[in-house]
Amino acid sequence: MQPGLYHILFISTVLFFIGVFGFFTRRNLVTMLMSIELILNSVNLNFITFNKYVWPNKLDGLFFTIFVIAIAAAEAAVAIAIIINLYRTHQSIDVENAEEMKF
């Protein structure tokens, strides 16, 4: 059986909420970063799916996905740099220890 549009959208939705759940519950900054990647990938999946099933002759969705991946890579680099700095000052990458950076 060929997988249809709804199958893939279902997977993408599941992936999105796994990401959201991970972002809300995890205290480790690296894991939270990974959760964000999951959210981004679910969005990527949506783009590709709609591109394939709705406008098969166009490539816009694919291009968008490539951009998202590129941005995600940059974001990961920045985020990890922040995490490393946080680790140097606090000897920890627990998100609760970063609370003091408020106002």
Partner 1 sequence: MPNVTYIALIPLLPLAAFLILGIFGRKYFKNTSGIIATALLLISTLLAVYTAYGYFFEYGKVDGIYQKLIPLKYTWLQFSEGVSIDMGIIIDPISVMMLVVVTFISLMVHIYSLGYMKGDDRFPTYYAFLGLFTFSMLGLIISSNIFQIYIFWELVGVSSFLLIGYYYDKPSAVAACKKAFIVTRFADVGFLIGILILSFYSNTLDFNKLIERLTTPESNELKNAVAASFLGISALTWGLVLVFIGGAGKSAMFPLHIWLPDAMEGPTPVSALIHAATMVVAGVFLVARLFPVFSISSPNALSLVGYVGAISALIAAVIACTQTDIKRVLAYSTMSQIGYMMFALGVSKYGGEDGLGYTASMFHLFTHAIFKALLFLGAGAVIHYIHSNEMKDMGGLRKYLPITHITFLIACLAISGVPPFAGFFSKEEILLAAYQNNKTIYWVALITSGLTSFYMFRLYFSIFWGRTRPSSFKRDCDEVKGEGGFVMMLPLVLLAFGAATAGFIPFGHFISSDRITLENKFHLMFSISPVALGLTGIIIAMWMYKKENNKPEKFAAMSSGLYKAAYHKFYIDEIYIFITQKIIFNLIARPTAWFDKNIVDGMINATGEGTKEISEKIKTFQSGKIQQYAICFLVGLISLALLFIYVWK
Residues in contact with partner 1 by the rule CB under 8 A: 20, 23-25, 32, 95-96, 98-103
Nearest distance in Å: CB 66, partner 1: 25
Least distance CB 98 / partner 1 (angstroms): 7
Shorter beta-carbon distance to partner 1: residue 30 or 59: 30
Q: How far is the CB of 56 from partner 1 (least distance, A)?
A: 27
C-beta closer to partner 1: residue 60 or 94:
94
Dig out the tokens for 59 from the structure.
């490539």
Give Cα 37 distance to the centre of its chain. Answer: 2
Query: Closer to partner 1 at the Cβ: 21 or 55?
Result: 21
